Structures are given as C-alpha cells and as structure tokens.
Amino acid sequence: MMIHKFRKSITNGSAALILAGMLAVTWLASAAADTKKPAAPAPKAAPKAAAPKAAAPKAGGTTGGATTHGPTTTSHGPTTGGTTTHGPTTTSHGPTTGGATTHGPTAGGAHPGGVGGAGAHGGATGGTRNTSFKSPAPKGNNEHVTKSGSAVRTRPGGRVADVHDAKRGMDVHHGLAGGHRVSMERHDGSRVYSERGRRGYVGRGYNYHGHDFERRSYFYHGHSYDRFYRGYGYRGLMLNVYAPGFYFRPAFYGWAYNPWAAPIAFGWGWGAATPWVGFYGGYFHPYAVYPSAAFWLTDYMISQDLAAAYAAHQDGAEQAAAPPEGGQPVLTPEVKQMIADEVRNQLALENAEAGQNAQQQDVDPGSSGIARLLSDGRPHVFVAGGNLDVTDASGQECAVSDGDTLQLREPPPSDATAANLVVLSSKGNPECQIQLTVSIQLTDLQEMQNHMRETIDQGLQDLQAKQGTGGLPAAPPSAAGPAAPAAYAAVAPPPEPNPGADIQAADQQSDQAEKDVTAEAAADTGGQASAAPASPDAPAAPAAPPAQPASVEMGQTTDQVTAALGAPTRIANLGPKVIYYYSGMKVTFKEGKVSDVQ
C-alpha cells in the first residue's frame, strides 16, 4: 500500500516534496534515535513527511524541480546544477576484478569545469557549422578545412582560436582570456585532456551492467585523483554525467540537507595573506552565519572556484578581471540564495542515488544530469568551474570563468543542442556582461553541472571531517562511519600509472599540431591561414568543387580509416574486436583491420 501511494504521488508531480520529506524524516528520526541509542542506525524515512524549510532569508527564483526523465528507477527530489569534487581520492582500485569491459570514453572532447571539447565555444546563434569543430563559429571568425581533413578557425584580426588535427586526433582551443586547452583521442580509445595552469586528465572508458562509464585520472599541481562518469545519449549527443565514487550515509545527507539547530559562525581561515581573497574581494563575500550546510557548501564551492581561477591566472597566463572593492559584492545575496537552493536540491538527489546504490540498482544518468533540468519546467542556476567562451544572440563572443553564475530560465527547443542562459554574475571584461543572454552547448552545460556536483561532494567530505569543530554543529552518530563505494567504481579499470606525463606530452604535441595545421591551411590558400569568414553577414565565397566522399574498405587498418574519416567519436575495445563510432557509421576491426562497416 505504501509503495502504491508513493507511485501515485510521483505521478501527481510531488516527487520533490516526497524526497525532501524522506531526507527530513531520516534526519529527525536519526536525531531522535541518537538521543536514545547513539549507535542505532537511522530508521527508514516515511514517504509523505514534509521537509522543514531552511532558516534562510527568502529569495526569488528558487531553482528546484521535480520531474522524472527516462527510465528512472526512483524519483528524486529537485535536482539542481549543484557542483563539487571529492578531494583527491586516496584509495586506488587494483586491476579489474570482473563486471567491467574497457573501451573508449563515451563522449569525445568534454572536459572539466563546464568547458566543452577543446576547440569548442558555446553554441553561436550566428555563423556556419563546420563538422571539424564541436560548435558553430562565432560571428566574424574565419574557418578553413584542409585537404587532410584538419581545420583551423581564427578570430577577427587573424588570431587562432581553434585547431583540429585529424592526423593526431587532437583539438586545440585558445580562449578569449588567454587559456590554452587540448583534447586528444588516442588509438587505444583513451582520451587526454590538458589545460595550461589547470587540472588535466586521462579518461578511459569501460562497461558496467551494459552501460558506458569513464574513469578520469586527474592531475593537478603534483597530485592525482580519480572521478567517474556515466555516458548517456541525449538529443543526438553523447554526454558524460558525474557519478560519485562513493556515497555517504542517509543520516549524513539528512543532517546536511536540513536546517541546523541554530545558525553558526565559521572561520574559514582566509586572510590578507590569501591572494585570491584580496583579488576577488569585490566579487564575493562569505556569509556571516550559516543556517544549514547548503549555505556553507555554497561558500565552499565559490571559494574553491575563485582560488582555481587565481591560480590559473598566475600559472597559465590567463587574463583575469576583478571588480573593484567597496559596496555590495557582485555575487549578491539573492544570487547566492539561488545557488544554495541548487546545492540543497543536489543533496536530495544524491541521497536518492545513495539508496539506489545500497540496493544495487543502476542510477539513471538522464535523471542525474541536465536532461532532467531541461525538462522540469523550472529555472536552474549553474556555476562555471573554468574558462568557457560563449556567444550572445548576435554571435559575438564573451567568456565566463570560475565562480560566475548563469541561470537557465526556459528549456531549449526539443531538437536544440545548445541552451540560452542569463549571466547573473561575472567579474568584468572579457567576461560576459551581467544580464546578457548567452548560448551554451549542452556538452558544456553538462560538464558545468558535473563540476558543481564534484565540488559539493568534496565539500561534504570536508564538512564530515570538521563537523563538531570550529563552530560547526556535530552530526548525529548515525551519520558517522565510512562511505559506501559505488559498485561501478569498484570494477573500473585501474588508475592511469602516470597521468601527469601523458597530460604534459599532449600539451607539448599541441604546439606542433597547431604549426602543422596552420601551415597546411596557409599552403591551401596561398599563404592565408583562413579561407572565408564563417559569419552569415560576410559575402558568400564561390562554391568549391565537391570533394570526393571518404571511403572505407574491408581490410584497411585503423590508421587508414582515421586518415579517411578523422578521429572517431567513441571507441569500444571488445577483446579481439574493436569498434570505431562515427556519426551515422560504425566501423568494426578484427586483428587491426576492417571486418565490417555499418
């Protein structure tokens, strides 16, 4: 009977209330149990209890939403573009023990911090689409595709923006703010992502329960750690959704979700000696008190992003803007409230996923990712976790960077692969102006949400370690104990042995790749690296004679196929059989030679 009522409530659109109630009752029951029997586990939550509201100032534009998407196994509370990263993972998995098949990453070119494939901008509303790149060209940009299938895109004035090297399977992007990032698909199906002054990773795909997963071995400032992602198809795209490597106990999520007994003050330890604090003092101020963990996690996330932005400015020669100090910070209390709402909803989502993991059920990536956020009919706030070049309605470029906030107010059309978001906060030129509407590719938006979820999880780890100290309230005893590892993480391929060296090598190769491709483009055009403006406002160039279609023949090697078709979007290594996936085509190799084409 209880299950029937639960399903009926979901059908009536009250999933958010149910999940919030589950968290509230779990926490309250746990607190009561802890008073009587400190060691007792938290009792199961009653489905129809209502969650208490957070003791926070009321702000407009709540960002939660509650509709299911795809074949969800359970309905969660309103998912939000929350963001976090677990801290560097200290546990490492040994060799695969079973249940996982290794293959290439499920989505090429996506990378952390909401930055899409190297060489990708946010979706331009103007400009032509060149399939060598992952996004339309911004207004005034020039593009040229070489005879070998490589391509170069330049901004007005001739500065190179993007390079695609078909031979190396490499994409290079130069950001408006001076960043340099590289994405390279390797012949073994793995992917290397490098960004100067920022973290990079080596991604390797595998299969678990018939689903595509990717293990990314990150490397940053001499430290390596792992993250996991599940691939899923959405609107003709292959997206990677962050999949936590472990889950906390339900009572801990309840303690973090619900208001604390009284607002607390917390000393972060930031002072004048902390460089990023002074640099971004006009942009961000921490809360004076924290009524719940959601507000504490909001400040944690923003501070982590701003510290990363400052380090990239110092290490990677990125241009950084900082608003002048004095008066109200650019990141207003109203916007921070929206972020806290997203964080709180994210806690509800992850609590539901933890329950599924405990029951050995598969988590639906569409419900955990942006597919749900784009279909629930509610606004959502995203926090940028890296430099991302986007375009406005006229096709003009601008940038968003770590800690900038954007709001999705309306879902994009059902066939769109980009969404329009409104900039709520930014730090100044060359960043996008506040209230400007910009177009962001869905691959970039998913990575932005991934970063938010990762950073929240990292903050939860820190919060668990510090609870009961420094002014933080103590969590109930039932919330203590080790986290439960995710089943898909336990069977992942082992971490990369030396991701730092692989990332550095990709970065070094990118310089030569750029020289080779721009030289080839210049030779094609008689010394000009770009052929014609990609903007629709420019006069049309004379039509070129149709090129001979690329062909694939039985018995060809992987190198021959790559030379003809370029790097595949995905690779599946199935023992003696390897499959290269292209748009509308699947090429199967046996013993290194083409055995089937579909």
Cβ-Cβ contacts under 8 Å for 111 (sequence gap 6 or more): 117, 118, 181, 183, 193, 195, 201, 447
Whether residue 382 lies inside any domain: the answer is yes
CA 66 → CA 10, 28, 186, 258, distances in Å? 9, 23, 40, 18
Task: State whether 234 and 162 are in the same domain.
Answer: yes
Task: State whether 371 and 452 are in the same domain.
Answer: yes
What's the pLDDT band for 119 if we cut at 50, 70, 90?
A: very low
Q: Which two tokens stand for residue 169?
A: 């399977």
What sign does the CA torsion over 305, 311, 317, 320 have? positive
Residue 224 pairs in a beta bridge with 219
Q: Which two tokens stand for residue 234?
A: 């959405």
Whether residue 280 lies inside any domain: the answer is no
pLDDT computed for residue 542 by the predictor: 42
Task: State whether 257 and 370 are in the same domain.
Answer: yes
Q: State which amino acid sits at residue 242.
A: Y
Whether residue 69 lies inside any domain: the answer is yes
pLDDT tens-digit readout, 403-433: 999 999 999 999 999 999 999 999 988 899 9
How open is the CA angle 122-506-571, to the nearest 5 degrees? 70
pLDDT computed for residue 527 by the predictor: 59
pLDDT tens-digit readout, 365-405: 888 999 999 999 999 999 999 999 999 999 999 999 999 99
| 216 within 8 A of 231, measured Cβ to Cβ | no
Q: What is the mean pLDDT of the chain?
A: 78
pLDDT computed for residue 569 by the predictor: 67
CA 399 → CA 170, 173, 455, distances in Å? 23, 13, 21
**Model confidence at 515: pLDDT above 60:** yes
Task: State whether 343 and 225 are in the same domain.
Answer: no
Whether residue 12 lies inside any domain: the answer is yes
H-type helices in 359-392, by residue range?
365-368, 370-373
Residue 490 burial (CB < 10 Å; 0-12/13-18/19+)?
middle
**Model confidence at 297: pLDDT above 60:** yes
Per the structure, the complete domain to which residue 579 belongs is given by 558-597
Task: State whether 513 and 482 are in the same domain.
Answer: no
pLDDT (average), residues 576-597:
79
Task: State whether 356 and 233 are in the same domain.
Answer: no
Task: State whether 58 and 173 are in the same domain.
Answer: no
| Residue whose C-alpha is closest to residue 164's, from 131, 203, 116 | 131
pLDDT computed for residue 578 by the predictor: 80
| 203 within 8 A of 210, measured Cβ to Cβ | no
Task: State whether 65 and 113 are in the same domain.
Answer: no
Whether residue 302 lies inside any domain: the answer is no
**Model confidence at 512: pLDDT above 70:** yes
pLDDT tens-digit readout, 320-369: 776 766 677 899 999 999 999 999 999 999 999 999 999 999 998 888 99
Whether residue 325 lies inside any domain: the answer is no
* pTM > 0.75: yes or no: no
Cis omega before residue 430 (within 30°)? yes
Task: State whether 147 and 162 are in the same domain.
Answer: yes
Which letter does DSSP use for residue 71 in this model? S
pLDDT tens-digit readout, 445-495: 999 999 999 999 999 999 999 999 999 999 999 999 899 999 999 999 999
pLDDT computed for residue 583 by the predictor: 62
Higher pLDDT, 324 or 269: 269
pLDDT (average), residues 272-299:
94
Residue with tokens 């909001």, as numbered in its chain? 298
What's the pLDDT band for 575 if we cut at 50, 70, 90?
A: low
Percent over 70 (pLDDT), the chain:
71
Task: State whether 481 and 379 are in the same domain.
Answer: yes
Residue with tokens 């993991």, as numbered in its chain? 357
| 396 within 8 A of 102, measured Cβ to Cβ | no
Cβ-Cβ contacts under 8 Å for 425 (sequence gap 6 or more): 283, 330, 331, 332, 335, 403, 404, 405, 434
Residue with tokens 């939403």, as numbered in its chain? 65
State how far the Cα of 478 lies from the Cα of 31, in Å rounded to an integer. 8
Please identify, among 488, 517, 549, the residue that sits at the C-terminal boundary of a domain.
488
Task: State whether 202 and 339 are in the same domain.
Answer: no
pLDDT computed for residue 570 by the predictor: 66
What's the pLDDT band for 71 if we cut at 50, 70, 90?
A: very low
| 337 within 8 A of 59, measured Cβ to Cβ | yes
Task: State whether 219 and 232 are in the same domain.
Answer: yes
91 CB neighbour count, 10 Å cutoff = 9
Please identify, among 456, 472, 488, the residue that sits at the C-terminal boundary of a domain.
488
pLDDT (average), residues 521-542:
54
Whether residue 507 lies inside any domain: the answer is yes
The number of domains in the chain is: 3
pLDDT computed for residue 429 by the predictor: 80
Whether residue 274 lies inside any domain: the answer is no
**Model confidence at 59: pLDDT above 70:** no
| Residue whose C-alpha is closest to residue 178's, from 282, 317, 378 | 317
Cα distance from N-terminal residue to C-terminal residue, the chain: 49
